[in-house]
Amino acid sequence: MSYIQTKRWNVNKSANLQNIEMNLQEAANLIKDGHVVAFPTETVYGLGGNALDPQAVTDIFKAKGRPNDNPLIVHIANRDGLNELVTEIPPIAEKLMDAYWPGPLTLIFHANNKVPTNVTAGLSTVAIRMPSHPVARELLEKSRVPVAAPSANLSGRPSPTTADHVWTDLEGRIAGVVDGGATGVGVESTVLDISGEVPMILRPGGITREELTEVCGHVELDGALMDDGQAPKSPGMKYTHYAPKGSLTLVRDWELIQELATKARAEGKRVGVLTTEERVNHYDADFVYACGSDGDLKTTAALLYNGLRAFDDQEIDVIFSEVFDERGVGAAIMNRLEKAAGGRMIK
Protein backbone atom coordinates (compact mmCIF):
# COMPACT_ATOMS: atom_id res chain seq x y z
CA MET A 1 0.00 0.00 0.00
CA SER A 2 1.26 3.47 -0.85
CA TYR A 3 -0.01 6.88 0.21
CA ILE A 4 -0.02 10.12 -1.76
CA GLN A 5 0.50 11.93 1.53
CA THR A 6 1.73 10.61 4.85
CA LYS A 7 0.24 12.63 7.68
CA ARG A 8 2.35 13.91 10.55
CA TRP A 9 0.73 14.75 13.86
CA ASN A 10 2.58 16.86 16.41
CA VAL A 11 1.87 15.63 19.93
CA ASN A 12 4.97 17.14 21.54
CA LYS A 13 4.60 19.07 24.79
CA SER A 14 4.79 22.29 22.77
CA ALA A 15 1.54 21.45 20.96
CA ASN A 16 -1.90 22.64 22.05
CA LEU A 17 -3.56 20.06 24.35
CA GLN A 18 -6.77 20.06 22.35
CA ASN A 19 -4.83 19.50 19.13
CA ILE A 20 -2.91 16.62 20.75
CA GLU A 21 -6.18 14.96 21.69
CA MET A 22 -7.60 15.41 18.18
CA ASN A 23 -4.39 14.20 16.52
CA LEU A 24 -4.18 11.06 18.63
CA GLN A 25 -7.84 10.27 17.99
CA GLU A 26 -7.34 10.67 14.24
CA ALA A 27 -4.30 8.37 14.32
CA ALA A 28 -6.19 5.83 16.46
CA ASN A 29 -9.14 5.87 14.05
CA LEU A 30 -6.83 5.10 11.15
CA ILE A 31 -5.42 2.11 13.02
CA LYS A 32 -8.95 0.87 13.79
CA ASP A 33 -9.80 1.26 10.09
CA GLY A 34 -6.92 -0.98 9.06
CA HIS A 35 -4.22 1.57 8.24
CA VAL A 36 -0.62 1.59 9.45
CA VAL A 37 0.65 4.42 11.67
CA ALA A 38 4.04 5.08 13.31
CA PHE A 39 4.15 6.23 16.93
CA PRO A 40 6.72 6.75 19.71
CA THR A 41 7.35 4.29 22.51
CA GLU A 42 9.89 4.54 25.32
CA THR A 43 12.28 2.34 23.28
CA VAL A 44 12.03 3.26 19.57
CA TYR A 45 9.25 4.35 17.22
CA GLY A 46 6.86 1.52 16.33
CA LEU A 47 4.92 0.92 13.13
CA GLY A 48 1.44 0.02 14.31
CA GLY A 49 -1.50 -1.79 12.78
CA ASN A 50 -4.50 -3.67 14.16
CA ALA A 51 -3.03 -6.97 15.36
CA LEU A 52 -6.34 -8.77 14.79
CA ASP A 53 -6.61 -7.63 11.16
CA PRO A 54 -4.48 -9.89 8.90
CA GLN A 55 -4.49 -7.34 6.07
CA ALA A 56 -3.25 -4.53 8.34
CA VAL A 57 -0.47 -6.85 9.51
CA THR A 58 0.41 -7.65 5.90
CA ASP A 59 0.63 -3.91 5.21
CA ILE A 60 3.14 -3.54 8.07
CA PHE A 61 5.40 -6.11 6.41
CA LYS A 62 4.99 -4.43 3.02
CA ALA A 63 5.75 -0.94 4.32
CA LYS A 64 8.94 -2.11 6.03
CA GLY A 65 10.00 -4.62 3.37
CA ARG A 66 10.21 -7.08 6.26
CA PRO A 67 10.49 -10.86 5.75
CA ASN A 68 7.20 -12.45 6.73
CA ASP A 69 8.83 -15.21 8.80
CA ASN A 70 9.87 -12.55 11.33
CA PRO A 71 7.19 -12.38 14.08
CA LEU A 72 5.77 -9.11 15.37
CA ILE A 73 5.29 -7.78 18.89
CA VAL A 74 1.74 -6.95 19.91
CA HIS A 75 1.28 -3.83 22.06
CA ILE A 76 -1.58 -3.59 24.55
CA ALA A 77 -2.91 -0.73 26.69
CA ASN A 78 -3.52 -2.79 29.84
CA ARG A 79 -3.35 -6.34 31.18
CA ASP A 80 -6.96 -7.03 30.24
CA GLY A 81 -5.75 -7.02 26.64
CA LEU A 82 -3.92 -10.29 27.27
CA ASN A 83 -7.16 -12.21 27.58
CA GLU A 84 -8.02 -11.97 23.88
CA LEU A 85 -4.54 -13.01 22.77
CA VAL A 86 -3.20 -15.84 24.97
CA THR A 87 -4.31 -19.26 26.20
CA GLU A 88 -2.99 -18.80 29.74
CA ILE A 89 -1.09 -16.35 31.94
CA PRO A 90 1.45 -18.29 34.02
CA PRO A 91 2.40 -17.13 37.55
CA ILE A 92 5.88 -16.05 36.40
CA ALA A 93 4.19 -13.67 33.94
CA GLU A 94 2.24 -12.04 36.76
CA LYS A 95 5.48 -11.45 38.71
CA LEU A 96 7.25 -10.00 35.68
CA MET A 97 4.34 -7.75 34.78
CA ASP A 98 4.14 -6.50 38.35
CA ALA A 99 7.83 -5.60 38.19
CA TYR A 100 8.30 -4.26 34.66
CA TRP A 101 4.96 -3.46 32.99
CA PRO A 102 4.39 -0.95 31.61
CA GLY A 103 7.94 -0.82 30.28
CA PRO A 104 10.48 -2.18 27.79
CA LEU A 105 9.83 -5.89 28.41
CA THR A 106 8.17 -8.17 25.86
CA LEU A 107 6.85 -11.53 27.09
CA ILE A 108 6.20 -14.55 24.88
CA PHE A 109 3.00 -16.46 25.65
CA HIS A 110 1.12 -19.33 24.04
CA ALA A 111 -1.20 -17.67 21.51
CA ASN A 112 -4.90 -18.38 21.17
CA ASN A 113 -6.72 -18.81 17.86
CA LYS A 114 -7.67 -15.10 17.63
CA VAL A 115 -4.10 -14.07 16.79
CA PRO A 116 -3.50 -14.05 13.01
CA THR A 117 -0.74 -16.37 11.84
CA ASN A 118 1.09 -13.53 10.10
CA VAL A 119 1.57 -11.84 13.50
CA THR A 120 3.20 -14.96 14.94
CA ALA A 121 4.95 -16.03 11.71
CA GLY A 122 3.09 -19.33 12.02
CA LEU A 123 4.36 -20.08 15.52
CA SER A 124 2.19 -21.20 18.42
CA THR A 125 3.41 -18.29 20.54
CA VAL A 126 2.85 -14.54 20.52
CA ALA A 127 5.08 -11.71 21.79
CA ILE A 128 3.28 -9.03 23.83
CA ARG A 129 4.27 -5.89 25.69
CA MET A 130 2.71 -2.88 27.40
CA PRO A 131 4.68 0.28 26.58
CA SER A 132 5.17 2.99 29.19
CA HIS A 133 5.39 5.99 26.82
CA PRO A 134 2.36 8.22 27.53
CA VAL A 135 1.69 8.86 23.83
CA ALA A 136 1.79 5.15 23.03
CA ARG A 137 -0.48 4.35 25.98
CA GLU A 138 -3.08 6.94 24.96
CA LEU A 139 -2.98 5.88 21.31
CA LEU A 140 -3.55 2.26 22.33
CA GLU A 141 -6.42 3.26 24.60
CA LYS A 142 -8.07 5.28 21.83
CA SER A 143 -7.59 2.64 19.13
CA ARG A 144 -9.32 -0.02 21.29
CA VAL A 145 -7.46 -2.83 19.52
CA PRO A 146 -4.19 -4.65 20.21
CA VAL A 147 -1.54 -3.12 17.95
CA ALA A 148 1.19 -5.12 16.20
CA ALA A 149 4.19 -2.82 15.97
CA PRO A 150 7.74 -3.59 14.88
CA SER A 151 10.22 -0.71 14.68
CA ALA A 152 9.13 1.97 12.19
CA ASN A 153 12.04 1.73 9.76
CA LEU A 154 12.82 0.02 6.49
CA SER A 155 13.87 -3.55 7.24
CA GLY A 156 17.57 -3.81 8.04
CA ARG A 157 18.04 -0.10 8.72
CA PRO A 158 18.82 1.42 12.13
CA SER A 159 15.69 1.65 14.24
CA PRO A 160 14.11 5.12 14.52
CA THR A 161 14.34 7.12 17.71
CA THR A 162 12.81 10.32 16.26
CA ALA A 163 9.89 11.05 13.95
CA ASP A 164 12.39 12.41 11.39
CA HIS A 165 14.02 8.96 11.21
CA VAL A 166 10.61 7.44 10.46
CA TRP A 167 9.88 10.11 7.87
CA THR A 168 13.16 9.44 6.07
CA ASP A 169 12.41 5.74 5.72
CA LEU A 170 8.64 5.51 5.36
CA GLU A 171 7.15 8.73 3.97
CA GLY A 172 4.60 7.72 1.34
CA ARG A 173 4.56 4.12 2.55
CA ILE A 174 2.36 4.57 5.66
CA ALA A 175 -0.72 6.55 6.66
CA GLY A 176 0.93 8.75 9.24
CA VAL A 177 3.55 9.47 11.89
CA VAL A 178 2.70 10.54 15.44
CA ASP A 179 5.56 12.89 16.36
CA GLY A 180 6.16 12.65 20.09
CA GLY A 181 9.79 13.77 20.08
CA ALA A 182 12.85 11.63 20.77
CA THR A 183 12.45 8.29 22.52
CA GLY A 184 14.18 7.55 25.83
CA VAL A 185 15.66 4.05 26.13
CA GLY A 186 16.89 4.03 22.54
CA VAL A 187 17.09 0.24 22.03
CA GLU A 188 14.18 -2.14 21.62
CA SER A 189 12.51 -4.04 24.44
CA THR A 190 13.94 -7.15 25.99
CA VAL A 191 12.14 -10.23 24.68
CA LEU A 192 11.68 -12.96 27.30
CA ASP A 193 10.19 -16.32 26.40
CA ILE A 194 8.09 -17.63 29.28
CA SER A 195 6.28 -20.28 27.23
CA GLY A 196 8.73 -23.00 28.33
CA GLU A 197 9.99 -24.32 31.64
CA VAL A 198 12.85 -21.81 32.03
CA PRO A 199 12.54 -18.08 31.17
CA MET A 200 14.81 -17.39 28.21
CA ILE A 201 16.03 -14.09 26.75
CA LEU A 202 15.58 -14.10 22.98
CA ARG A 203 16.62 -10.47 22.55
CA PRO A 204 18.47 -8.33 25.12
CA GLY A 205 17.03 -4.86 25.54
CA GLY A 206 15.89 -2.17 27.94
CA ILE A 207 15.36 -4.56 30.87
CA THR A 208 18.65 -6.28 31.69
CA ARG A 209 19.32 -9.94 32.43
CA GLU A 210 20.41 -8.92 35.91
CA GLU A 211 17.08 -7.21 36.55
CA LEU A 212 15.10 -10.19 35.26
CA THR A 213 17.09 -12.55 37.47
CA GLU A 214 15.93 -10.61 40.51
CA VAL A 215 12.35 -11.56 39.65
CA CYS A 216 12.72 -14.98 38.02
CA GLY A 217 15.63 -16.39 40.01
CA HIS A 218 17.17 -17.92 36.89
CA VAL A 219 17.12 -16.67 33.31
CA GLU A 220 18.86 -18.25 30.34
CA LEU A 221 20.16 -16.56 27.19
CA ASP A 222 19.06 -18.24 23.98
CA GLY A 223 22.08 -19.70 22.21
CA ALA A 224 20.27 -19.32 18.88
CA LEU A 225 20.49 -15.49 18.88
CA MET A 226 23.01 -15.55 16.03
CA ASP A 227 21.73 -18.78 14.37
CA ASP A 228 20.00 -17.94 11.09
CA GLY A 229 19.15 -21.56 10.35
CA GLN A 230 15.90 -21.75 12.27
CA ALA A 231 12.57 -19.94 12.44
CA PRO A 232 12.99 -16.90 14.69
CA LYS A 233 10.74 -16.80 17.75
CA SER A 234 11.41 -13.11 18.30
CA PRO A 235 12.21 -10.00 16.25
CA GLY A 236 15.95 -9.42 15.96
CA MET A 237 16.96 -13.09 15.95
CA LYS A 238 17.40 -13.43 12.19
CA TYR A 239 18.70 -11.33 9.30
CA THR A 240 20.98 -8.29 9.41
CA HIS A 241 19.38 -5.50 11.40
CA TYR A 242 20.10 -1.92 12.40
CA ALA A 243 22.76 -1.45 9.67
CA PRO A 244 24.00 1.91 8.37
CA LYS A 245 24.78 2.21 4.66
CA GLY A 246 28.53 2.19 5.27
CA SER A 247 30.40 -0.97 6.17
CA LEU A 248 30.57 -1.33 9.97
CA THR A 249 33.34 -3.24 11.76
CA LEU A 250 33.68 -3.70 15.51
CA VAL A 251 37.19 -3.43 16.95
CA ARG A 252 37.93 -4.81 20.43
CA ASP A 253 41.26 -2.96 20.75
CA TRP A 254 40.32 0.70 20.51
CA GLU A 255 43.95 1.71 20.05
CA LEU A 256 43.93 -0.17 16.71
CA ILE A 257 41.05 1.88 15.34
CA GLN A 258 43.17 4.89 14.31
CA GLU A 259 45.53 2.66 12.34
CA LEU A 260 42.59 1.11 10.50
CA ALA A 261 40.99 4.49 9.89
CA THR A 262 44.21 5.98 8.47
CA LYS A 263 44.64 3.04 6.11
CA ALA A 264 41.05 3.27 4.86
CA ARG A 265 41.33 7.01 4.26
CA ALA A 266 44.52 6.42 2.28
CA GLU A 267 42.44 4.18 0.03
CA GLY A 268 40.11 7.11 -0.67
CA LYS A 269 37.27 6.08 1.64
CA ARG A 270 35.31 8.35 3.94
CA VAL A 271 35.82 6.96 7.42
CA GLY A 272 33.75 7.22 10.57
CA VAL A 273 34.43 6.16 14.16
CA LEU A 274 31.86 5.34 16.82
CA THR A 275 33.27 6.02 20.26
CA THR A 276 32.31 7.65 23.57
CA GLU A 277 32.70 11.13 25.03
CA GLU A 278 35.85 10.04 26.83
CA ARG A 279 37.76 9.31 23.59
CA VAL A 280 36.04 11.47 20.98
CA ASN A 281 39.18 13.61 20.54
CA HIS A 282 41.45 10.59 20.25
CA TYR A 283 40.58 9.88 16.62
CA ASP A 284 41.36 11.56 13.30
CA ALA A 285 38.63 10.56 10.84
CA ASP A 286 36.10 12.15 8.50
CA PHE A 287 33.39 11.86 11.17
CA VAL A 288 33.66 10.84 14.81
CA TYR A 289 30.46 10.20 16.76
CA ALA A 290 30.43 10.30 20.56
CA CYS A 291 27.85 7.71 21.57
CA GLY A 292 27.24 8.50 25.22
CA SER A 293 29.63 7.87 28.06
CA ASP A 294 31.67 4.87 29.22
CA GLY A 295 30.45 5.62 32.71
CA ASP A 296 26.75 5.38 31.82
CA LEU A 297 25.87 2.92 29.05
CA LYS A 298 22.23 4.01 29.19
CA THR A 299 23.36 7.18 27.42
CA THR A 300 25.10 5.02 24.79
CA ALA A 301 21.93 3.00 24.23
CA ALA A 302 19.84 6.16 23.88
CA LEU A 303 22.16 7.57 21.20
CA LEU A 304 23.12 4.38 19.34
CA TYR A 305 20.66 4.42 16.45
CA ASN A 306 20.93 8.17 16.04
CA GLY A 307 24.69 7.67 15.66
CA LEU A 308 24.36 4.92 13.06
CA ARG A 309 22.06 7.15 11.02
CA ALA A 310 24.42 10.11 11.45
CA PHE A 311 27.10 8.18 9.55
CA ASP A 312 24.67 7.94 6.64
CA ASP A 313 24.05 11.68 6.78
CA GLN A 314 27.82 12.22 6.52
CA GLU A 315 28.07 9.76 3.57
CA ILE A 316 30.56 7.59 5.41
CA ASP A 317 31.87 4.52 3.55
CA VAL A 318 33.61 2.67 6.38
CA ILE A 319 32.81 2.76 10.09
CA PHE A 320 34.94 1.42 12.93
CA SER A 321 33.23 1.04 16.29
CA GLU A 322 34.58 0.46 19.74
CA VAL A 323 33.00 -2.38 21.70
CA PHE A 324 31.20 -2.00 25.00
CA ASP A 325 30.97 -3.77 28.33
CA GLU A 326 28.30 -6.45 27.90
CA ARG A 327 26.99 -6.23 31.43
CA GLY A 328 23.59 -4.61 31.99
CA VAL A 329 22.25 -2.67 29.02
CA GLY A 330 25.64 -3.21 27.35
CA ALA A 331 24.37 -6.64 26.26
CA ALA A 332 21.66 -4.94 24.19
CA ILE A 333 24.12 -2.42 22.74
CA MET A 334 26.53 -5.14 21.63
CA ASN A 335 23.72 -7.29 20.27
CA ARG A 336 22.60 -4.43 18.03
CA LEU A 337 26.14 -3.54 16.93
CA GLU A 338 26.99 -7.16 16.10
CA LYS A 339 23.84 -7.40 13.99
CA ALA A 340 24.55 -4.06 12.30
CA ALA A 341 28.09 -5.19 11.51
CA GLY A 342 26.92 -8.53 10.13
CA GLY A 343 29.34 -10.22 12.55
CA ARG A 344 32.43 -8.28 11.38
CA MET A 345 34.73 -7.93 14.36
CA ILE A 346 38.49 -7.50 14.78
CA LYS A 347 39.41 -9.13 18.08
The pLDDT tens digits of the residues spanning 294-309 come to 999 999 999 999 999 9
Q: Are residues 289 and 191 in the same domain?
A: no
Q: Which residues of the chain have pLDDT under 50?
A: 226-231
**Whole-number pLDDT of residue 141:** 98
Query: Tell me, what's the pLDDT at 322?
Result: 98
Instruction: Say yes or no: 216 and 295 in one domain.
Output: no
Instruction: Note the pLDDT of residue 42.
Output: 98
- What whole-number distance in Å separates Cα of residue 20 and Cα of residue 66? 31
User: In angstroms, what CA-CA distances link 283 with 244, 255, 299, 309?
Assistant: 20, 9, 21, 20
Instruction: Residue 175: give its domain's CATH number.
Output: 3.90.870.10
**Are residue 142 and residue 181 in the same domain, yes or no?**
yes
Is 202:237 a contact under the CB 8 Å cutoff? yes
Angle at 196 between CA 193 and CA 198, to 5 degrees: 80
Q: What radius of gyration, in Å, describes the C-alpha atoms of the chain?
A: 20
142 CB-near residues (< 8 Å, 6+ apart) = 24, 25, 27, 28
Identify how many contiguous H helices and E strands the chain contains and give both numbers: 10, 16
pLDDT of residue 238: 52
Residue 234 falls within a domain, yes or no?
A: no
Q: Which residues contact 304 (CB under 8 A, 6 or more apart)?
A: 186, 187, 291, 292, 333, 336, 337
Query: Which helix or strand (DSSP H or E) is residue 221 part of?
Result: strand 220-221
pTM of the model: 0.93
What pLDDT, on the 0 to 100 scale, is given for residue 135?
A: 97
Residue 282 has φ and ψ, to the nearest 5°, of -80, -25
Q: What is the pLDDT of residues 311-346, one digit of tens each?
A: 999 999 999 999 999 999 999 999 999 999 999 999
Same structural domain, 187 and 255: no
Domain count for the chain, please give it. 2
Range of the domain at 46: 7-221
Instruction: Note whether 117 and 188 are same-domain residues.
Output: yes
Q: Which helix (H) or strand (E) holds 345?
A: strand 345-346
